[in-house]
């Protein structure tokens, strides 16, 4: 990503982190438009400063840096609001309101860390699943998704897809194994 021309790396970064950053911004109390702004601001900041980022040994260093950038941009959004303005803008509030200021309702950063890690694990699994779905037959992935990910009973999957139940078991086992490898590969790539 340190090179602007590396489109594939930027696309992978977008695929891995856009929903994650947006989700954190939304859970912090920002409306859709402001959460989108935060996401764009974080991406812009990464593009401008990635050459200064020094990877440290150990997992999660890049994600920690990205989480700090996200928190700062969220705080910036709240701080840009006129005093007394309700979430979502509109300027309908007044300075004499007794409501707790929005910035004080933002969850504690330790909550963000745990939520960020949970969200990261979900996104990692989704990204690995997406990669897997592009590599295997669509019918096999559909069986895997229904049986393993959505936890349908094997007989229901077999009936729905007109497959032998043993085939559904085998597909589930093989693709679960491949998914684990893909998750490990992604973890190694992004830390």
pLDDT score of 53 = 73
% of the chain surpassing 90 pLDDT: 39
**Out of 60-64, 125-129, 136-140, 178-182, least confident range:** 60-64
Average pLDDT in the chain: 82
Alpha-carbon distance of 175 to 171, in angstroms, equals 6
Residue whose entry in the numeric block shows the structure tokens 């949970």: 118
**Confidence (pTM):** 0.58
pLDDT score of 163 = 96
The pLDDT of residue 176 is above 80:
yes
The tokens for 134 are 């592009």
CA-based nearest residue to 169, from 184, 186, 189, 153:
153
Q: What is the pLDDT of residues 36-80, one digit of tens each?
A: 999 999 999 988 888 777 766 555 677 788 888 998 999 999 888
| Helices within 50-87 (DSSP H only) | 61-80
- Distances in whole angstroms, Cα of residue 18 to Cα of each of 33, 49, 105, 169: 14, 17, 24, 34
Alpha-carbon distance of 186 to 163, in angstroms, equals 31
The tokens for 109 are 């950063």
Neighbouring CB atoms inside 10 A of 166's CB total: 10
Q: Residue 105 — very low, low, confident or very high, per pLDDT cuts 50/70/90?
A: low
The pLDDT of residue 90 is above 70:
no
């Amino acid at each position: 990503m340190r090179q602007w021309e590396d489109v594939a790396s930027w696309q992978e970064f977008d695929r891995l982190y856009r929903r994650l950053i947006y989700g954190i911004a939304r859970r912090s109390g920002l409306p859709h438009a402001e959460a989108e702004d935060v996401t764009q601001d974080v991406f812009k900041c990464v593009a401008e400063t990635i050459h200064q980022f020094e990877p440290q040994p150990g997992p999660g260093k890049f994600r920690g840096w990205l989480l700090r950038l996200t928190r700062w941009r969220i705080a910036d959004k709240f701080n840009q609001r006129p005093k007394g303005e309700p979430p979502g803008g509109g300027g309908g509030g007044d300075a004499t309101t007794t409501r707790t200021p929005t910035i004080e309702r933002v969850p504690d950063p330790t909550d963000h860390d745990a939520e960020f890690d949970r969200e990261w694990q979900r996104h990692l699994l989704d990204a690995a699943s997406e990669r897997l779905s592009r590599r295997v037959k669509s019918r096999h992935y559909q069986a895997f998704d229904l049986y393993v990910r959505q936890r349908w009973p094997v007989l229901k999957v077999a009936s729905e897809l007109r497959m032998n139940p043993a085939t559904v078991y085998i597909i589930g086992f093989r693709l679960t194994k491949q998914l684990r490898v893909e998750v490990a590969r992604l973890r190694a790539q992004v830390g």
